[in-house]
């Protein structure tokens, strides 16, 4: 019995010892696990750093490509050939510019008349003449003005003054106009409006709200010395020829 009791006592002691040893083992295991976790935690930031390092290389690639892109942007655009600007005329912006006025030297010219013959300012040198500008052949106002000069042509002839009408119409149009109304004086064709512009008679007009360029009815009395003696602009046809005759007498 005593032996049995001793064996039982030894078994209890061993079980107590094993129980005491278990917590120690557990502590050791937990310590090992903690160390492993710490190592793993240390290893992860390294990986993160490596991952962060990758964008840096991407940034370097971008920075290397940016100068090329900037250089491409910095290339100056090819200059487009400048369009030829139209020459400015006397009646710029639609306003009549009185380039020629009293005392001015009459502009030189060479134009064709209704018969196709050339008439130049040199042909008129030393003789007075009346130069009148009108918009268009065979229109009401222009016809009335031409007929008024026609009816007074003997009085101009008595004073040795030649009457010359000028418009952008063609020579053929002038021929028909002169024949239709029996006009005894010269009609000059100025399709390029060179003489019309030189006298400032090419202006902007307005009719029922519509703006357009056209001939301003104008008349100039040129003396034998080649200078302008009298100028009429924006002419009203009634009484105009009488005013020109009166100016010749003064």
- Active-site choice (96, 124, 142, 215): 142
Count Cα neighbours of 108 within 13 Å in the Cβ-side half-sphere. 1
Residue 165: phi and psi, rounded to 5, are -100, 145
Pair 208, 172: CB distance under 8 Å? no
Q: How far apart are CA 217 and CA 17, in angstroms?
A: 136
Pair 101, 231: CB distance under 8 Å? yes
Q: How far apart are CA 137 and CA 168, in angstroms?
A: 9
Q: How far apart are CA 164 and CA 179, in angstroms?
A: 16
Pair 95, 209: CB distance under 8 Å? no
Catalytic residue at 142? yes
**Closest to 182 in 3D by CA, of 114, 243, 133, 245:** 114
Pair 249, 152: CB distance under 8 Å? no
Residues marked active site are found at 142
């Amino acid at each position: 019995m005593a032996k049995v009791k001793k064996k039982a006592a030894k078994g209890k002691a061993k079980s107590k010892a094993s129980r005491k040893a278990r917590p120690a083992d557990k502590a050791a295991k937990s310590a090992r696990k903690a160390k492993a976790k710490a190592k793993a935690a240390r290893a992860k930031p390294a990986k993160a750093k490596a991952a962060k390092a990758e964008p840096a290389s991407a940034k370097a690639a971008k920075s290397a490509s940016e100068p090329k892109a900037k250089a491409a942007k910095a290339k100056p655009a090819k200059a487009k050939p400048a369009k030829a600007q139209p020459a400015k005329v006397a009646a710029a912006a639609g306003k009549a510019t009185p380039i020629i006025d009293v005392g001015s030297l009459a502009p030189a010219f060479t134009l064709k008349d209704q018969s196709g013959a050339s008439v130049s300012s040199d042909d008129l040198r030393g003789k007075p003449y009346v130069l009148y500008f009108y918009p268009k052949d065979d229109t009401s106002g222009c016809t009335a003005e031409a007929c008024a000069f026609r009816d007074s042509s003997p009085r101009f002839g008595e004073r040795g003054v030649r009457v010359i009408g000028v418009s952008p119409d063609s020579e053929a149009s002038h021929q028909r106009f002169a024949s239709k109304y029996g006009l005894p004086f010269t009609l000059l064709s100025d399709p390029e409006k060179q003489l019309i512009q030189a006298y400032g008679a090419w202006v902007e007009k307005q009719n029922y709200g519509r703006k357009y360029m056209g001939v301003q009815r104008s008349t100039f009395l040129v003396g034998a010395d080649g200078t302008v003696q009298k100028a009429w602009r924006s002419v009203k046809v009634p009484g105009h020829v009488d005013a020109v005759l009166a100016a010749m007498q003064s």
